[in-house]
Amino acid sequence: MVRKWLSAVLAAMLVVMAACSSGSGSESGGASAGGEDSNSASAENRSDDDKTPVTFTYYSFNTGKDVMASETTIGKELQQQTGVDFKIEYLVGDIKTKSGVMIASGDYPDVIVPEGEIDKLLDAGAFIPLDELIEEHGPNIKRVYGPYMDKFRQADGKIYHLPFSANQGYIGEPNISQGAFWIQRSVLKEFGYPKIKTLDEYFDLIKRYKDKYPQVDGKDTIGFVSFAGVADSFFTLTNPAMHLAGYPNDGDVIVDMETHEAKVYQATDLEKRWIKKLNEINAQGLFDSESFVMNKDQYLAKLTSGRVLGYFNYAWQVGDATNNLKLAGIDEKRYAPLPIVFDADIKDQYLDPPAFVNNRGIGISVKAKDPVRIIQYFDNLLKEENQILVQWGIKDETYSVDENGRFYLNDEQKLKRDDPEFKRSFGFQYFEYAWPRYGNNSVLADGNAYGVGNQPEVAYAGYTEGDKKILDAYGVKTFAEYFSKPDERPWYPAWSINKGQNTPEQLFVQKASDLQKKYLPKLILSDPSEFESLWTEYVNEFAKLDAKSYEAFVTKVVKDRVAGKW
């Protein structure tokens, strides 16, 4: 009802706007550089090539460094094309607190990237419907998202956000951009690049190395660390249980390949086996207890210190650390990804199958003063030349083209790509992901890969001598080759299923997550003699939740997706 009421109000506002020739600006954005209101021309009569200067506010519920888009090379180029600039701001503090304050005040920025708060903001009516705007001003939006639009319409049949995963063709990733167990390369080198597959083998190797080299530069060597000190990254600690059992990242469930039944793995033998192993290595002095109190900057600094021997992460979580280590040029202190599983007979499934994520994206808020200019900016961004700009950059400056039209990076361009500060100043850090875009695995019209890292020429040429030594040792040409190919999963990923706000499903997820945050640190850091009693307490508390109903809900959506209904 709230959404219908807001839609009616919006419609009335547009009628008034069309009848008026001017208005007054406000603090949240939309005023031109000269102080004139962005609605000085009506949405009805404005042409799609209007370049009147205007600045909007963009807020992301992810972390990052605030910036004016025009202060970056990419943002400046897009501003010259459209007249539009964005004041880009990121989350500071607790994500749920921020969304609650935003909703309670009704003080929304012009554009929002809600991340995991999308259901809450949708339910609060924070976004305007985009259907008519797309129809009138979005030819490129329709081209890119056309085959997917029915997959991200809401229950009322309308579109309120544009996802980040609309693949245009498909090319696999040569390197690991998602989850893996990572190990410092010095460990592999020390023991002759052994082929390890199981969790026991992984930690045994780390223990042997730590016993041999207990300190690095006068500080204690750290066997294993987890990124569990930040609430919205706690999944880094919980997700390995399903990966170790041979499942991809479907969130809080594993899905049977034959029956398509979804089952939660929390408080099951799978989670117990993983957490008990961490309890064991903690008792051996291998686990870093600061895992539960570090913020992101502290965590990344620890990874780049050379002291950490192993960790589990999704590669996109640790990009700055990865790039800084590569820039330092000490291959042995960099990390190699491993497809670790519980038992040798388990087929790993770390690589994502082709997927469409429908519950992450970008939307225009109900407080946006000029939705037309914003949707025009989004549409312009989706022109293929601009999709090349935000991924590859500028020809002969950040990428090169050979005589066959294939994109590649020369040595200087590779160094730029690996420099976090350059990525920020040029704008890759701000524009390569959280905007309307092609999916990561897309192929450009000329056959080049959309994602720079997916271009075979870039992957091969970008390997250092240290990379090649590891690849040769394992008999492969790319890091992805020693991971099993993903099985087809038409529902994937189940974590993108919309659970609504204040629904039984959403409340189950919240309560279950709260239990994990309460018990898992205690279980890991406890004396091994206390583990079983604590585990029983945890399982008994979890049993009070209605997991069966939640599983039935997810199973129904999974089966609907398998049947082609999203």
For residue 395, pLDDT over 50 is answered with yes
What would the mean pLDDT of 133-159 be, rounded to a whole number?
A: 96
Q: In this predicted model, what pLDDT tens digit does every residue of 246-258 receive, in sequence order?
A: 999 999 999 999 9
The predicted structure's pLDDT at residue 283:
98
365 and 222, same structural domain?
A: no
The predicted structure's pLDDT at residue 330:
87
Q: In this predicted model, what pLDDT tens digit does every residue of 211-234 receive, in sequence order?
A: 999 999 899 999 999 999 988 899
pLDDT bucket at 565, cuts 50 / 70 / 90: confident
Confirm if 489 and 255 have CB atoms less than 8 A apart: yes
The predicted structure's pLDDT at residue 327:
86
Nearest partner of 174 among 430, 460, 413, judged by Cα: 460
Q: Where are the alpha helices (DSSP H) in 263-370?
A: 269-283, 296-303, 319-328
493 prior amide bond cis, ω within 30: yes
Alpha-carbon span 457 to 446, nearest angstrom: 15
Domain membership flag for residue 174:
no
Alpha-carbon span 161 to 132, nearest angstrom: 13
The predicted structure's pLDDT at residue 172:
86
The predicted structure's pLDDT at residue 77:
98
235 and 140, same structural domain?
A: no
Q: In this predicted model, what pLDDT tens digit does every residue of 104-141 receive, in sequence order?
A: 999 999 999 999 999 999 999 999 999 999 999 999 99
What would the mean pLDDT of 455-472 be, rounded to a whole number?
A: 90
Alpha-carbon span 229 to 288, nearest angstrom: 12
User: Which residue is listed with tokens 């038409």?
Assistant: 490
pLDDT bucket at 33, cuts 50 / 70 / 90: very low
The predicted structure's pLDDT at residue 14:
36
338 and 244, same structural domain?
A: yes
Nearest partner of 441 among 176, 168, 174, 162, judged by Cα: 168
CATH of the domain at 40: 3.40.190.10
157 and 25, same structural domain?
A: yes
Query: What total of structural domains would you count in the chain?
Result: 2
The amino acid sitting at 130 is L
The predicted structure's pLDDT at residue 49:
81
241 and 345, same structural domain?
A: yes
pLDDT bucket at 46, cuts 50 / 70 / 90: low
The predicted structure's pLDDT at residue 5:
36
The amino acid sitting at 354 is P
157 and 270, same structural domain?
A: no
Q: In this predicted model, what pLDDT tens digit does every residue of 483-506 receive, in sequence order?
A: 999 999 999 999 999 898 889 999
The residues pairing with 163 across neighbouring beta strands, listed in sequence order, are 361
The predicted structure's pLDDT at residue 500:
84
155 and 193, same structural domain?
A: no
Alpha-carbon span 224 to 310, nearest angstrom: 5
Domain membership flag for residue 551:
yes
The predicted structure's pLDDT at residue 329:
87
Domain membership flag for residue 34:
yes
Strands 54-60, 84-90: pairing is: parallel
365 and 337, same structural domain?
A: no
Nearest partner of 435 among 387, 487, 398, judged by Cα: 387
For residue 539, pLDDT over 70 is answered with yes
Comparing 354-358, 371-375, 426-430, 538-542, the range with the smallest average pLDDT is 354-358
What would the mean pLDDT of 417-431 be, rounded to a whole number?
A: 95
pLDDT bucket at 47, cuts 50 / 70 / 90: low
Q: In this predicted model, what pLDDT tens digit does every residue of 397-412 receive, in sequence order?
A: 999 999 999 999 999 9
Q: In this predicted model, what pLDDT tens digit does every residue of 84-112 receive, in sequence order?
A: 999 999 999 999 999 999 999 999 999 99
pLDDT bucket at 28, cuts 50 / 70 / 90: very low
296 and 258, same structural domain?
A: yes
132 and 19, same structural domain?
A: yes
For residue 18, pLDDT over 80 is answered with no
503 and 480, same structural domain?
A: yes
252 and 184, same structural domain?
A: yes
The predicted structure's pLDDT at residue 29:
35
pLDDT bucket at 34, cuts 50 / 70 / 90: very low
What would the mean pLDDT of 315-334 be, rounded to a whole number?
A: 91
Domain membership flag for residue 173:
no
Domain membership flag for residue 280:
yes
Residue 444 CA neighbour count, 13 Å, CB half:
22
Beta-carbon contacts of 539 under 8 Å, excluding residues fewer than 6 positions away, are 267
41-43-47 Cα angle (round to 5): 75
For residue 420, pLDDT over 70 is answered with yes
Contacts 24+ apart (CB under 8 A), 536-539: 538/267, 539/267
Alpha-carbon span 309 to 375, nearest angstrom: 47
What would the mean pLDDT of 314-322 be, rounded to a whole number?
A: 92
Domain membership flag for residue 494:
yes
The amino acid sitting at 487 is D
Domain membership flag for residue 116:
yes
Domain membership flag for residue 209:
yes
pLDDT over 90 percentage in the chain: 83
What would the mean pLDDT of 298-310 be, rounded to a whole number?
A: 96
Domain assignment of residue 100, given as a range: 2-168+359-392
Confirm if 86 and 57 have CB atoms less than 8 A apart: yes
